[in-house]
Structure 1
């Protein structure tokens, strides 16, 4: 047994975790609780956040149509602040009302400058995202989305143009607070490889379903909710590119592909914030 303490100011709570050599799942040891990024470290981080902060509110929209829009507008290549600004701009323009706007209307709205903080920016991929949104919103207007589980909703969303596993899982997790899907990206891939539950040859593009099953098994082994775990992993891995880089530098050559390693050129520029934590995906 190993014990870690969570400081709550006026009091401290001890968290008991298995011995470092105990296995979480096949060939995956718990490891030392204070050794980033071991399984024990991740279990402690999830539990500590439960105790010291409010639970993450995953939903970004007030309806499934809004949630679809927020997640499609965010994600890869779009800074969280820009994705949220685009979402709010479209929402305030009535784009997520019951009558779906045309692709031309969405393109016009996404082509308008967005105020982010004290500056105005342009939304990238406006034409592409306008097309995806128009088709997806029309489908949500004409069909009843299945809401019996996160996976059922995720699989239904995959039939929408431009919606892949990660975005579909993100929408389903947010809207249903689902724990039967996982939002997997490069940050979760790195965390899983370093913790030992993903193979070094796996990619989210090729192996999403197999990786999702391993992630869910790992979460069960730790005794934490997958939705909490992927949020904590994503935030910590994104916030510590130098620490991740140092660990990867000491790994065998098979781990040191350009895709797996954090970018040195961006390490000083990337800072996680509350907007990023909301826009996981």
Structure 2
């Protein structure tokens, strides 16, 4: 790891810590007080994000929710609202499949399903294995955004770039196998321990360092 860059990161964190803590508190409230519909909106958002900007994906979710297509629309109807989202045909079908996956007796039951797991990593494994469109990054992103996965790495291109610049990884991988993902996650945990910056904070910190904002 590059000592000077690590010191700079710690200094940057001091200025961002309060904002990061507030954002993570927002995420925790979604699990504590939100509805299953709130949770599903976050899940659908994470299904949309691969190779698409978060600032484009979230307004699409808000549009779908506003007209109830998120909870009742078919893939073709959902597709029309996914403006500028890449691979929108596939992702529209994934949203409907996920909705069906979590529907019991006509109602979404995400809380009852996820509440049955003993830890976030077990929940992540189940999501990756059972929900179309979710890899390790997307599953971890979803769990973090609903207040359940702050210790999980969300290895998007912004995070990988900054881990490389910090000397945490030797190269930015072109593809991420499960083995590679978990290895980089382990190294990110080591960075968290070295700097004293909690994992959930570290992800938002690196993301904001790259994008200039703390978002989702």
Q: Same fold (TM over 0.5)?
A: yes
Check 1:176–1:222 CA distance in 2 against 1; reply closer, same or farther (3 A cut).
same
Aligned to 1:149: 119
**CA–CA separation in structure 2 for the residues paired with 1:42 and 1:223:** 11
8 Å contact kept, 1:150–1:172: yes
8 Å contact kept, 1:107–1:126: no
**CA–CA separation in structure 2 for the residues paired with 1:129 and 1:231:** 25
Aligned to 2:90: 128
- Residue by residue, what CA displacement relative to the aligned partner does 1:77-121 show, whole Å, maximum 9, x if unpaired? 323332112101111232455xxx36xx23213314x7xxxxxx5
Deviation at residue 183 of structure 1 after TM alignment: 0.5
Bigger RCO of structures 1 and 2 (CA < 8 A, at least 6 apart): 2
TM, length-normalised to structure 1 = 0.61
More helix by percentage: 2
Deviation at residue 171 of structure 1 after TM alignment: 0.3
**CA–CA separation in structure 1 for the residues paired with 2:148 and 2:13:** 16
Check 1:51–1:93 CA distance in 2 against 1; reply closer, same or farther (3 A cut).
closer
Task: Report the count of equivalent residues.
Answer: 197
Check 1:86–1:201 CA distance in 2 against 1; reply closer, same or farther (3 A cut).
closer
Q: 2:146 aligns with which of 168, 171, 175?
A: 175
Q: 2:56 aligns with which of 79, 82, 98?
A: 82
**CA–CA separation in structure 2 for the residues paired with 1:71 and 1:179:** 15
Q: Which has the larger radius of gyration?
A: 1
Aligned to 1:44: 11
Aligned to 1:158: 128
- Residue by residue, what CA displacement relative to the aligned partner does 1:239-258 show, whole Å, maximum 9, x if unpaired? xxxxxxxxxxxxxxxxxxxx
Check 1:81–1:200 CA distance in 2 against 1; reply closer, same or farther (3 A cut).
closer
Check 1:53–1:123 CA distance in 2 against 1; reply closer, same or farther (3 A cut).
closer
For structure 2, which runs of at least 5 residues remain unmatched after alignment? none
8 Å contact kept, 2:94–2:132: yes
Runs (4+) of structure 1 exceeding 6 A deviation are none
More strand by percentage: 1
For structure 1, which runs of at least 5 residues remain unmatched after alignment? 1-27, 33-37, 115-120, 239-271
**CA–CA separation in structure 2 for the residues paired with 1:176 and 1:147:** 14
Check 1:52–1:65 CA distance in 2 against 1; reply closer, same or farther (3 A cut).
closer
